Chain A
C-alpha cells in the first residue's frame, strides 16, 4: 500500500509535479544517451548476437546428436562413437602454400584426396556395419555437423572478442553478417537430416538429370567415383557422366571428363555441364538458365581439369543450371527442382541439336551431390 500512497501523493500534487518529474527524466535520458548512446547501441547488438549464438549452439548440439544417433543406428559400433565424433568435428585441412602458385592445383587435389580417404576411413572405423553407400551418407552427415561446429566457433570467437574489447566495430560487423550466417547454419541443419536419411538434396539437380538420361543404359565406372553411360541422343552419341549413387558423393567430374575426352582422342563436339546454380533474391527456385563455361563449384580443382581438357582439344563447353539458394541446395530437394528436370533435358537436347552435327559425340555431365539418386 506504501507504493500506492506515494503514487497518489504524486498525483494529488497536481500536474506541476508530474511535469517537473517528466522534464527531469527527459534531461537525464538525454544526457545518458549523449554519453552512453554508443555503448547502449553496442549492448543491444551484443544481446542480438548472443541470441543467435544460443541458437547456433542449439543447432550444433542437435547436429552432433543426430550424427551420433545415425552412426549408432546404421554402423552398429561396439563402443560409444561420441568421443570419435567429437574428434572428427575438430578436423581441419591446411591448403597448400600459394606464394609460388605454379602447380598449386595438383597440390590441392592431393590434399583433398588425402582428406577424403582419411575421413572415409574414420567413418568406417566408427560405423563398421555400414556398406559403401551408408559410409558416403555418414561422411556427408559428419561434414554437415563439422560445418555447424565451425560456424558456431567462429561466431563465438568474434562475440567473445567483441565483449572483451568492447569494440563496437567488431560487434557491428558480426551483427551485420549474422542473418546470412544464420541462414547458412539453418541450411546445414536441414542438410543433416537429409544426409542421415539418404534423401536427395537440391544440389543433386545435375546428377538427377544425368540419371534420367542414362537410366536403362549400361554404365561403367570412370575415375574417380563417377559413372558414364553411352546414350544415343538426337542422332548423336552422348557420354553421360555423373557421380556414382545413391550414396552421398560428388565424385571427381574433372577426372571423368578428361578420361572420356582422352578415350575419344579429343573428338568431342561439345561438353554440356548441368549443375545447381545459386539464385539471386527475386529469382524463382527451379528456373533453368543456359550459359557458357564449366558449371561446377567446389575448390576449383575439377573446374581446372575440365577447362584444361577442353582447351587442349578446343572443345566448346556449355552449361545449363537450375536456380536455387544455398538453403535449397543442401536441404531435401524441393518439388520445383525435381519438376525442372524435364525442362533441363529439353534445354540440353536443344543445345545438342544446335551445337553439334548428326553422328557427333557429346559429353553431358551432371554435377553435384548424388545422394539418394541412383543411375
Chain B
C-alpha cells in the first residue's frame, strides 16, 4: 500500500477499469462474431451472443458497483438546520446552520416585537427510515 491515499484509490480504480475494458472489448468481439455467423452457423452465433451478453452484463455490473463504492468513500456533511424563535411573539424561522450558531444564542431583535430572537434548536434531519426487519 502506498502512502498517498489519492494514488492508492486511483491505482485500484484504474486496475479495475482496465479489466472491465478488456472484458467489454472481448464481449463486443463476441457480439460482432455472433452477428457475422448468424446466417452461416446459427448455433455458434447463439453461443457467441450468450457469451457476449453475459460478459457485457458482468462488466457493467462491476463498473456500477465500483462507482457505488467510490461514492460511499466520501465523508458527507449532513444538512444541519437552525431554529430561531422569538419567545415573546412566538415567531419561528428555520434556516441552514451557520458557523458560530449555538443553542440559546441571542441574535438580532425581532422585527415584530423588538424582543431578542434566540436559537432554540440545531439539528440534522435524517430522511431514510430505519429498516425494521419485520420484527
Contacts and interface: CB of A to CB of B under 8 A. Distances in A.
Interface of A: 4, 7-8, 11, 51, 53-55, 57-59, 61-62, 66, 189-190, 192-193, 197-200, 208, 211, 215, 245-246, 282, 285, 331-338, 372-375
B43 interface: yes
Given A57-B8, A192-B75, A373 B102 contact: yes
Contact of B124 (A208, A245, A282, A332): A332
A246 B43 CA distance: 75
* B-side interface mostly: loop
Interface in B99-134: 99-105, 121-126, 130, 132-133
A337 B122 CA distance: 11
14 contacts: A7-B47, A58-B5, A59-B73, A190-B77, A198-B99, A200-B123, A211-B104, A332-B122, A334-B124, A334-B125, A334-B126, A338-B122, A372-B102, A374-B104
Contact of A190 (B5, B41, B78, B133): B78
Contact of B103 (A8, A58, A208, A285): A208
Contacts of A282: 132-133, 135
A211 B103 contact: yes
B97 interface: yes
B9 interface: yes
A317 to B, nearest CB: 27
A331 B79 CA distance: 12
Given A8-B41, A57-B5, A246 B124 contact: no
Interface of B: 1, 5, 8-9, 12, 33, 41, 43-44, 47-48, 69, 72-73, 75-78, 80, 97, 99-105, 121-126, 130, 132-133, 135
A335 B123 contact: yes
Contacts of B126: 334-336
A55 B1 CA distance: 13
